[in-house]
Amino acid sequence: MKQLLTVKPRELVMQDVEKPKISIDTEVLVKIKAAGICGSDAHIYHGTSPVATYPRVMGHEIVGEIEEIGKKVTKVKVGDHVIVDQIINCGECYPCIINRPNVCFNLKVRGVHVDGGYREYVTADQSAMHILPKNLPFLDAVMIEPMSIAFQACCRAQITANDTVFILGAGALGKSLIKAVLLTGANLIVSDVVEERLEEAKVLGVKTVINSLKENLVEKLKKYTKYGPSVSIDAAGFVNSLPLLVDITSNAGRVIAMTFLTELSPLAQFKITAKELDVRGSRLQNNKFEEVIEAYKNGKITIEGQLSHIFAFDKAIDAFKMIDSGDKTIKKIVLSFE
């Protein structure tokens, strides 16, 4: 089979390797049908990921079809369409014991710490399989993983219909967050510096948008909210994002950090303490795949129509070259194995 190996930052090699075999009775063999290229994959490729190891087969947004199952597999059967959970946890450390495996002390993420889905076949335990409706195209199904990240953020923020939520950034992550937040019934305000993104946010159902390049963000938020948003989510990841959100969020509010920015942010503790803010991280997802799949099946969210570019897997290196080109038409790139 073929696999795309990141030997080191900016060095990709398409290799011929042996097809993996089931070695444990609870494992399954998945024939990969589609794999997304996420912002974090681009960071691994560029060498700017703070967590990735090399050499690495990237790819954590992976969907496919069950081709073979181990003797003790009961969760799935041959022919099932599945999305593969990106998380591998130990089950024994403190986060695992309190049911937060996404921040396991021994966490391994497919495509980051262990080899992922940029290859034609993957073996994994049946527990990592989530069955997809067969009427959902594989290419679109890739978007379930980004939606699971957004569902996790909403869970961490404990959003209710009584909240006013502010999302900073309406890019790929921001759009997934918009869909997730709208399901809660909360009042939603979205800001970005790109007018096209804000127009897309309106199409998704956001009534209040702010172009912070053209408008004073703080003044607009004062106009639209009495005390400031009760929940603020950073989907932009700039050095000044967190200080800004701490500044504009209401007393007793929640601030959600989602990006892997490693630069220090200029942030005084005073406002966190004085406002009694909850500043919380949100990483990956914690058992959110099934929630997203059910929301899709029930018509509560859409995941189709979000792909801007599709590359055949054997042209995957060209996809990363396109990312390097800075092409502004890129929204979501997916590798097709069909």
Considering only CA atoms, which of 224, 227, 154 is closest in space to residue 191? 224
The DSSP letter of residue 277 is -
Helix 217-224 vs helix 241-248: crossing angle, to nearest 10: 30
Helix count and strand count (H, E) for the chain: 11, 17
Considering only CA atoms, which of 319, 321, 296 is closest in space to residue 308? 319
Which residues make Cβ contacts (< 8 Å) with residue 210, sequence separation at least 6?
189, 190, 191, 198, 217, 220, 221
**pLDDT tens per residue across span 271-301:** 999 999 999 999 999 999 999 999 999 999 9
Burial class (CB in 10 A: 0-12, 13-18, 19+), 212: middle
Structural domains in the chain plus CATH codes: 2-143+303-336 (3.90.180.10), 147-281 (3.40.50.720)
**pLDDT tens per residue across span 296-336:** 999 999 998 889 999 999 999 999 999 999 888 888 999 99
Which residues make Cβ contacts (< 8 Å) with residue 23, sequence separation at least 6?
123
pLDDT at position 327: 86
**pLDDT tens per residue across span 159-217:** 999 999 999 999 999 999 999 999 999 999 999 999 999 999 999 999 999 999 999 99
Number of Cβ atoms within 10 Å of the Cβ of 307: 19
Two structure tokens written together for 322:
């396109």
pTM for the full predicted model = 0.96
Considering only CA atoms, which of 180, 144, 156 is closest in space to residue 256? 156
pLDDT at position 328: 82
Distance between CA atoms of residues 65 and 33, nearest Å? 7
DSSP β-bridge partners for residue 61: 36
